[in-house]
Structure 1
Amino acid sequence: MSNIFNSTRFLGLIRRQWIGFGRIYLMSIGIIAGVIFGFYAVNFASNYDGMKNQTAYSLLNFRTPLFCILGLFFVTVVSSSYFADLGKKTRAIFELMIPASQLEKFLVSLFYTVVVSIGSYLLVFYLIDLAFVAYLKGFGSMVLNQTASTGKAGSIDLWQYFYKVQYPHSAYYFYFAPILLNAIFLLGGIVFQNYQYVKTAISVVIYCVVWICFFVYLIKMQTQDTVGVMGNNYWSDSNHIFALIGAGALFLTLVLWCVAFLRLKEKEI
């Protein structure tokens, strides 16, 4: 099979993969939707009196941690399970005999595990949030008056839709997290023969612990018995540091995708 990209084969492979992967994927997104709905329902039910009296100031504080943790978990599960059949000999034969190039197979995997999974998660979360917050706004609005550090007075709506919530500028540099985790768990799903998710997760945890310990030890050795002086330079701005981390994560994602593609190609030789 030629490795030259062919759009007709690519679209055909997308349709073919949906037949086998679509049912599992729809079940997964259904479970995720149920979990999100459950969190909203429980929080709204337990704060119903505060909603009526407009005193439930922290009612929607659960949304951000729920959105981040559940979203990253969903992306990693989908990414790790996409190539899980390659670890089973009987199913691997059918996967390897699909009339498509390695490049097309890998691009389809990115389409389902990145574009479809992240896009559908955002759609489901925003729609559920839209429904509950619209119901919440039927009780009125929760506006908090505050004064900025510059002395300028302002107000913030505590009961606003999730897609309108404003976060610190540095938070936007961490948009790479689901993409990077996709690359890691997609590679783990190809490399490991069984228990792909568990083995990949354990490998990531061990790597992070070793790297953090080494980094802390290195910083300690470099700064021991020294006096830190913070000047007005490029690295004194936290946004520059976050931007560098984001760029490094993007580069690492591309490297991991390339390694995953090469490992997938090896399995078809």
Structure 2
Amino acid sequence: MNQFFSFRRFSLLISKHWADNKKRYLLSVIGFALLLIVWFIFTILVDPHSPMQQEVQILTFFFALFGTGAFYASQYFRDLGSRAKGINFLLVPASAVEKILCSILFTIVIFFSVFTAVFYLVDVLMVTISNQFLTSHNPIRQEGVINVFRAAILPFDGISTLNVLLIFFTVQSIFLLGSVYFAKYSFIKTVICSFVVFFLLFCLIYVLYEYVMPRGGYVNGFTSYRVSRFNAGEDHLVQIPGWIDDMIYFVLMYAITPFLWVVSYYRLKEKQV
């Protein structure tokens, strides 16, 4: 049998993970649905003349998605924090690739699917209640159910689109990596490390554009820079190759998440050794 990846072994690993955690997952889903209902009832009571506004639905969806998703991903490899459970986890007859793929399946694919289904179940129920019962006593503007996939696509410089869901996949991958690296308090430690890394990147980009790149305004989108020549008192145009912008966009949008998966794989493989 292939020691790197076996579909049968991978399917058995998925079944084992579900069997070990199905009660916790089911209780979490029920608890999340109840919290959503309580939150939407609170928003309706606060503003009964404009209940279930689409802005509230959008903010609720994405705030809960990122918050609960990051916490869940940070707890996936929590067994590694206990000596007994960690040994049991490492002795499971599955390769590191299969364990990482299983974690990606549960923390990203299944989590997002279940989260979206539960949110829509509660959201449709609360929108229907607010439109059918509240409007019968008070003439208010009826709200519809949001399309989260349309709300997740935001305009970016009028040229390309920044998909919030891709950012969610990246955040999930960051906290999944943190659950492998940190044995205890992985969520808090991952938040702190992520803040430090992004702060350093921000400082690096600021120094790059402020002191390394030539000063001046930008024209023609990404590829042309109008630079002021302070000595000569005139402007000249600096052209940047278009493939550089394409490469930066590709790395930021599509390459970071797979890179984090690869790092998580090698970290988990070290623990297994």
- TM-score above 0.5: yes
- Closer, same or farther in 2 for the Cα pair 1:61/1:266, shift >3 Å? same
Please name the residue that 1:260 is paired with.
264
Question: Is it true that 1:202 corresponds to 2:192 in the alignment?
Answer: yes
Please name the residue that 1:84 is paired with.
78
Of 103, 112, 115, which aligns to 2:106?
Answer: 112
Classify the secondary structure of the residue corresponding to 1:228: strand
Of 131, 134, 138, which aligns to 1:137?
Answer: 131
1:58: how far off? Answer: 7.9
Classify the secondary structure of the residue corresponding to 1:118: helix
Please name the residue that 1:163 is paired with.
147
Structure 1 residues without counterparts, runs of 5 or longer: 51-55, 144-157
Please name the residue that 2:163 is paired with.
173
Q: TM-score, normalised by structure 2?
A: 0.78
Larger deviation: 13-22 or 134-143?
Answer: 134-143
Classify the secondary structure of the residue corresponding to 1:19: helix
Of Structure 1 and Structure 2, the greater strand share is in: 2
Please name the residue that 2:254 is paired with.
250
The answer to which structure, 1 or 2, has the higher relative contact order (CA under 8 A, 6+ apart) is 1
Please name the residue that 1:228 is paired with.
217
Distance across 2 between alignment mates of 1:108 and 1:2? 17
Please name the residue that 1:147 is paired with.
none
Question: Is it true that 1:95 corresponds to 2:85 in the alignment?
Answer: no
Structure 2 residues without counterparts, runs of 5 or longer: 226-244
1:28: how far off? Answer: 2.8
Classify the secondary structure of the residue corresponding to 1:162: coil
Distance across 2 between alignment mates of 1:118 and 1:74? 10
- Closer, same or farther in 2 for the Cα pair 1:208/1:232, shift >3 Å? closer
Is the contact made by 1:126 and 1:163 (CA closer than 8 Å) also made in structure 2?
no
Query: C-alpha deviations, 1:189-223, integer Å up to 9, x for none?
Result: 11112111111111001111222223223322257
Please name the residue that 1:8 is paired with.
8
Of 203, 219, 230, which aligns to 1:213?
Answer: 203
When the two chains are superposed, the root-mean-square deviation of aligned CA atoms in Å is 3.0
Question: Is it true that 1:59 corresponds to 2:53 in the alignment?
Answer: yes
Distance across 1 between alignment mates of 2:210 and 2:96? 46
1:68: how far off? Answer: 1.2
Distance across 1 between alignment mates of 2:55 and 2:98? 42
Q: TM-score, normalised by structure 1?
A: 0.79
Please name the residue that 2:172 is paired with.
182
1:115: how far off? Answer: 1.2
- Quick one: which amino acid aligns to residue 258 of structure 2? L
1:231: how far off? Answer: 3.0
Please name the residue that 1:154 is paired with.
none
- Quick one: which amino acid aligns to residue 43 of structure 2? N
Identity of aligned residues (%): 23
Is the contact made by 1:96 and 1:268 (CA closer than 8 Å) also made in structure 2?
yes
